[in-house]
Chains A and B, each alone.
Chain A
Amino acid sequence: MIWAQLTTALEWYGAFILLFFFAINTYYLVLTVTGFWRTLQVFKQVRRPDQRRLLRSPLTPPISVLAPAFNEEANVVDNVRSLLMLDYPLFEVILINDGSRDRTLGRLVDAFDLRRSARTFDRVMPCQTIRGVYESSTYSNLVVIDKDNGGKADALNAGLNLSLYPLFCAIDADSILESEALLRLVRPFVDAPGVTIAAGGVVRVANGCEIHGGRVHQVRLPRRPLPLIQVVEYLRAFLFGRMGWSTGNSLLVISGAFGLFDKRAAVLAGGYATDSVGEDMELVVRMHRYRRERRQPYRIGFVPDPICWTEVPVSFRVLRRQRTRWQRGLIDTLVRHRAMIGRPRYGSVGMVALPGFVIFEMLSPLVELSGYLLLPAMWVLGLLNPAGAWMFFVLAIMYMVLVSTLAVLLEDIAFRRYASVLDLGRLLVGAVLENFGFRQLTVWWRVRAFWEYLRGDLSWGEMERKGVGA
């Protein structure tokens, strides 16, 4: 009797997993297609003289670029130089040395002739002790803050305290921005002044690219399979996925590597949460919440063409740290803002985006892992024939390959960043390869993140950089 009930339950669960696989891949497919459609819409609105107009317009708002750095001595000088060369009418670069243990500050002092400044600031956001503020005698728009280590969110809050301008762009110190990136990213703020409170930009993989002096000179794919797979993943999830979510003003994540915010709106919402490892997503969700609870009109956009290049992990060890941190950040944000989920008061964010994230982003690794365990178990118990298990596995993989291939195709139509046909072929190989080992590993790491989250682990883990521009 019990055996019969158990087998029935297992069979039901097997069917649920089948449905879940279908649903999650359809979710990605819909996001990819919506994101592509939205990208084309945005491109239609951008005309040839727009960048020049923005460069000259007195209405183009000035921007404070905030770049937190922790042990970045390898690339920090090149990266700051590239930030200072951005095409934008009025901006300042605030580099926050978050208690680095290496020569990050020393290199900056030498390279930019930094002098200790008595610059004062309003303590709008709480942050760790600021040991010193440095200004450059050669670049009037460069400020370096030296502070006690407090994590990325704390460093950004310190930067917010010293920033002069109404918009701030949060980036990673090791990110490389294209020279027109700010001009492109500011468009939503210029087109809907007072309404746009944040805009995310596209982050792409710098590994393999030819980089000199903090500029990407030639876009190439990485040779090693691990970063190659991440290129496909970034295209699918971070380009078209986020573009898709932005369609209904439901974008929940603006990458910490590249996002532009209205300073006043961010400060009113409470700034960066220092007790979260997913501070980028948490701030965006909090900004949604703040505005929706007060019924204030707002828009959080995503711009498909500004490009920020970032180095992705090349070793499994670093990748594991990154993925568990992302997942812990996701869980933390969704738990903190659980009151928004399924509540019509929060509009599309509460009714669509947050439930979507709970089901397809947060819980999916649990379901997927249970699927991986269940199928062999059912096979062993004689509840599933080997052909059925095999067929199901192939079906799931084919659907994932389909979504990734579509993302590659749409990238080629909309951007064509990878010039050679060989690169396209390698991207397609990456789309297939990610399903054999990479996906399963990330699922396992994301499941482990639940355990780490329950233990209260708030560590970031160090991101070891090889230095893409080296």
Chain B
Amino acid sequence: MAPAVALEPLRNGVLALAAAVILLALFLLVERSAAALSSSRRSRREPILSRLLFQALQSSPVDARAFRRLGRFDRRLVRSILLGLALDLRGDSGDAIATLYRDLGFVKRDLAGLRSWRASRRANAAADLGLIHSAETVPGLLSALQDADVRVRQAAVWAIGQVGTPATLTGLVHLLGDRSLVVAHRVQEVLAERGREIADSILRYAETTSSRSGRLAAVELIGWLRITTGADLLLSGMRDLDPEVRVKSVKAAAAVGDPRFLEIFHSRLEDVRWEVRCQAAKGLSLFGAVASVPRLAAALRDHHWWVRFYAATALAEIGPAGEEALSSALHDPEPLVQEMARYLLERGDAVPALP
């Protein structure tokens, strides 16, 4: 028995769909009109409020009286303008913005936001507090570091990086080994910018932590921040059995450039991991030591492009002895060696941007 296609349901379906399309089109129109109204109101109010804000920020002490009786729309706009300004301004202007932001009750509102049941609201509140650079927000942000939601913890880490004193930044160091890689990375970013103030704490953490990922992150930071007092730690790291520790340590050592690294860089040119060999060659280019020439010339035969490239670069950096080694590599029976030597000798100033 074949199914009978009845007309009535089809007709009803068409009518329902037509109604839905019309409703959607109407909703689109209403939504766009509402947005246009709000945008026009914003463009009318923004210059007025901006002028008022600039006057208030320039007065000493900051005068928030003009904003006390603002409606909800204007208050939202003022908050948004202040946050936009806070993104770019530091120093006295930044302090004035923070004062006004606090006087208008926005700090209190954001601190309350940190306790919201919605994670996105908590994360936004933390990020906004970070923009304001106000020390009074630090306790709230420190407690947000314990939040169950990764987004909130990330935002809190970033915010503490913007606001925090060396003491609060020290409190972030142990999060380099956080169970969430994203949070740990955010801590690394913050400390890469401001970690010089707490170099000793980072070094101590790297020496004592039992967290492998935390140790690796701290070693990386030692390289980024060029913490010269970390040379001993890097020396032992370069001999570590864990290949990841060796990779990070050699990379950091190549950035720090302590003279004691020369010999170990030579030995690391024969490491089983190409990343270690490559970083060792890169590190040797810092020293420009003639003693490195035979080792680097041998590294030109490495099967990995990056090792050959950095070995050739290091030879070029060493000066006449290195250039001589590169010139003789042009006659090497191995085409890979010849090609790399030719590239380095011919490239002139065209140096690729390197990671």
Please give the residue numbers on chain A whose beta carbons come within 8 Å of chain B beta carbons, in ascending order: 7-12, 14-15, 18, 44-45, 47-49, 52-53, 56-59, 62, 90-92, 115, 117-122, 135-137, 140-141, 143, 164-166, 190-194, 384-385, 387-388, 391-392, 394-395, 398-399, 401-402, 405-406, 408-409, 412-413, 416, 421, 424, 428
Contacts and interface: CB of A to CB of B under 8 A. Distances in A.
A190 B186 CA distance: 10
A56 B170 CA distance: 21
Given A8-B2, A120-B340, A399 B185 contact: no
B73 interface: no
A14 B24 contact: no
A22 B27 CA distance: 24
Contacts, number: 157
Contacts of B124: 47
Interface of B: 1-5, 7, 10-11, 13-14, 17-18, 20-21, 24-25, 27-29, 31-32, 35-36, 83-84, 87, 120, 123-124, 127, 130-131, 151, 155, 158, 181-182, 185, 188-189, 192-193, 224, 304-305, 308-309, 336, 339-340, 342-343, 346-355
Nearest to B118: A44
A10 B28 CA distance: 41
Nearest to A61: B355
A135 B352 CA distance: 9
A136 B350 CA distance: 7
A394 B14 contact: yes
B21 A402 contact: yes
A424 B5 contact: no
Contacts of B36: 421
B28 A408 contact: yes
Shortest 7 CB-CB distances between A and B: which pairs?
A: A11-B2, A398-B17, A120-B339, A391-B10, A135-B350, A118-B343, A15-B3
B353 A90 contact: yes
Contact of A56 (B28, B123, B193): B193
B20 A402 contact: yes
Contact of A398 (B4, B7, B18, B29): B18
A391 B31 contact: no
A92 B353 CA distance: 7
Interface centre among B25, B127, B155, B185 (most CB of A within 10 A): B25
Nearest to A22: B13
Contact of B189 (A9, A53, A140): A53
Given A15-B3, A92-B352, A405 B185 contact: no
16 contacts: A8-B2, A12-B2, A14-B5, A18-B5, A47-B127, A49-B87, A58-B192, A118-B343, A118-B346, A121-B305, A122-B304, A122-B305, A192-B182, A387-B7, A391-B11, A412-B32
A300 B315 CA distance: 41
Given A118-B347, A135-B350, A395-B17, A45 B151 contact: yes
B352 A48 contact: no
Contacts of A391: 7, 10-11, 14
B2 A120 contact: no
Given A12-B2, A45-B151, A47-B127, A428 B25 contact: yes
A164 B189 contact: no
Given A118-B347, A120-B336, A388-B10, 4 more contacts: A48-B83, A120-B305, A165-B355, A405-B28
